[in-house]
Amino acid sequence: MRKKITAKQAAFLLPLFLLLSVFAIYPIVTSAVYSLFDYRTNDQRVAGLYTSTNFNAPLFVEDCGYIAWFLEDDLTLLDDADQKELQRIADSAGELADRYQSETDVIKVSAGEKDEIASAISRLKADTLAVYQKNADIAFYNGSDKLSTIFGEMDSCLIESNFTGLSAYASLLTDTRFMRSLRSTAVFTVISVFLELVFGMALALIMNKAIKGIGAVRTTALIPWAIPTAVSALMWSYMYDGTSGIVAKVFADIGLIASPELMLLSSGGAMTAAILADVWKTTPYMALLLLAGLQIIDRGLYESSKIDGAGTVRTFFSITLPLLKPSLLVALLFRTLDAFRVYDLIAVLTGGAQGTETLSIYAYKLMIGQNNYGYGAVVVLAMALCVGVIAFVFVKVLGAELVKDD
């Protein structure tokens, strides 16, 4: 029977809820908001979350100043009538700049003000280019080319809404790169976790034996897991090197690859290299989780089985494996989630090249490499959904019990 949490107990849990809110819930909510916008910090037109028309007032004021400055340099080369026209245009640009001089950030504008600003820019552009075209034979200091660049930048000062809603999620289904990354992630996860389960089980059974020197065996077996992942990946990259790597040379000598250089330069070789490095690194972790489950199995069951004449294989499948199921499912859940979110190992080892780009690598390249935080957030949330599905399957379908009620 479950007991209700008292007020005092809830007070002790409050710091946990605060930490979860700051480090878990807030990033998820932020990512969900970003995913609804075409948010890219390398393009000033979509460098914010805009649900309506906005106006980059500081940039507009700066462009108006450049226009007035350039026109004042060129008007000295014209006759009186054209000088007055360029001076009028320069004064108009100055008046527009004065109108928004006090604004220091991007501001929202109404539809009417938007049309007014667009018309003012259009008039400035048309009047200015008309004077320069009329005097095309004069070699101006600045000329229409420089001013056309400024006018083009002025057009971008009017920022339309970059709210895309759920359309980015629909485009995810047709994103071939996302599908390739998902497939690579699934292949890496399934194969590496399976091998880690097999080797981890064998290692756990060995470490569970009450034999002399087993403490040293347990300590030694945990060394690969204690090494930081980035260091481990760098170490394996040296062994996979096509010119001097021992692993690449051995694989080439026994015929697994055509030449040592192909170890990291072919899709099959690169994925195999990543899986081997991950298995070596995390098999001790799997063994440690399984060893904890083996330690709580009653030894009397093995003695009874031995008296009944059951062999080692029969004992394993009839006693060890059924009683180890809770620990086994928890170990598989943790390792599957960890492998599905792999980043650092592959980032150091292959950089995501040769078919080893996982969802984490893809999301990193979108957000950090391309500054595309909107679509990057969509990929991150899709990966979070996959993680949720995996957790649901293990906990609800397979019955992995993370926390006991008693």
Q: Give 1's pLDDT tier (boundaries 50, 70, 90).
A: low
- pLDDT for position 239: 92
Whether the pLDDT of residue 402 is over 70: the answer is: no
Q: What percentage of the chain exceeds 90 in pLDDT?
A: 38
Report the pLDDT averaged over residues 190-214.
88
In this prediction, residue 301 has a pLDDT band, given cuts at 50, 70 and 90, of confident
Report long-range pairs for 202-208 (Cβ below 8 Å, ≥24 apart). 203/283, 203/284, 203/287, 204/286, 204/287, 204/288, 204/290, 204/291, 204/294, 205/294, 207/287, 207/291, 208/291, 208/294, 208/295
Sequence-ordered alpha helix ranges (H) in 100-210: 111-134, 143-155, 167-172, 176-207
Give the list of residues 6+ apart from residue 158 with CB closer than 8 angstroms, or none.
Answer: 53, 54, 55, 56, 109, 114, 117, 118
SS3 110: coil
Selection from 102-106, 207-211, 373-377 with the highest mean pLDDT: 373-377
* Whole-number Å distance between alpha carbons of 25 and 15: 14
Q: How confident is the model at residue 296 (pLDDT cuts 50, 70, 90)?
A: confident
Contact 159, 91 (CB under 8 A): no
- What's the pLDDT at 281? 93
The owner of tokens 């100055």 is 94
Predicted local distance difference test score (pLDDT) of residue 72: 85
Mean pLDDT of 394-399: 79
pLDDT at residue 405 is higher than 80: no
Domains of the chain as residue ranges with CATH: 7-46 (no CATH), 54-159 (no CATH), 170-397 (1.10.3720.10)
Residue 233: predicted pLDDT: 92
Containing 339, the helix (H) or strand (E) segment is helix 321-340
Q: What is the pLDDT of residue 206?
A: 87
Work out the mean pLDDT of the chain and round it to a whole number: 87
Torsional sign, CA 207, 212, 218, 224: negative
pLDDT at 188: 95
Phi and psi (nearest 5°) for 163?
A: -75, 120
Q: What is the pLDDT of residue 401?
A: 63
pLDDT band (50, 70, 90) for residue 279: very high
**Once rounded to an integer, what is the mean pLDDT over residues 240-263?**
85
Instruction: Express each pLDDT in 334-391 by its tens digit.
Output: 999 999 999 999 999 999 988 899 999 999 999 999 999 999 999 999 999 999 999 9
Cα 404 from chain centroid (whole Å): 34
The pTM is what? 0.83
117-138 pLDDT per residue, tens:
999 999 989 998 888 888 888 8
Burial environment of residue 213 by CB neighbours within 10 A (0 to 12, 13 to 18, 19 or more): exposed
**CA 97 – CA 321 distance, rounded (Å):** 78
